[in-house]
Amino acid sequence: MKRALFPGSFDPITLGHYDIIKRGVTLFDEIIVAIGVNADKKYMFTLEERMAFIEKTFENESKVKVITYKGLTVDYCKDIGVEFILRGLRNPADFEFEKAIAHTNRDLAPIETVFLLTSADTSYIASNIVRDVIRNNGDYTKLVPNSVRVT
């Protein structure tokens, strides 16, 4: 069974993440959306909220699982026996950042990182911009799945 871990902060999940996960499902038997827990980072949404948004989004997609993890992504992959990491690429900045991480990860473990190029209509979407829109009372609903609602 081919399983891929899709790690990130998902603060919150956006239509950009959604697109990568939906396309990942066609390539892998299971996509494990993995929310990294970093005690030093300040988030807009709690871990429970971020998890609930993703679970609700994929409630009818049995190939998508949501988990949280601490520590190195490759260590977690080894722990649960996952051989692939899935990442999205939006632009050259993402490429440079992801390249360094993927090379480092491959030094640490025999885990292959698979990249999917962002779709044209979601390429500009980023969680930090979504958070800015939310903070300033803008209409964020066009940028995120329907399950993400600020109450």
Give catalytic residue positions: 17, 41, 90, 127
Query: In whole angstroms, what separates CA 115 from the centre of its chain?
Result: 12
Contact string (CB under 6 A) for ligand ADP, positions 46-65, x = contact? --------------------
- Smallest distance from the beta carbon of 80 to ligand ADP, in angstroms? 18
Is the Cβ–Cβ distance between 53 and 145 less than 8 Å? yes
Is 90 an interacting residue with respect to ligand ADP (CB under 6 A)?
Answer: yes
- Smallest distance from the beta carbon of 132 to ligand ADP, in angstroms? 14
Is 78 an interacting residue with respect to ligand ADP (CB under 6 A)?
Answer: no
Q: What angle do CA 57, 27, 11 make, to 5 degrees?
A: 35
The token pair at 117 is 């190029």
Is 12 an interacting residue with respect to ligand ADP (CB under 6 A)?
Answer: no
Closest to 17 measured CA to CA, from 35, 42, 38? 35
Is the Cβ–Cβ distance between 130 and 100 less than 8 Å? no
Note the residues at the interface with ligand ADP (CB under 6 A): 8-10, 14, 16-17, 20, 87-88, 90, 94, 118, 122-123, 125-127
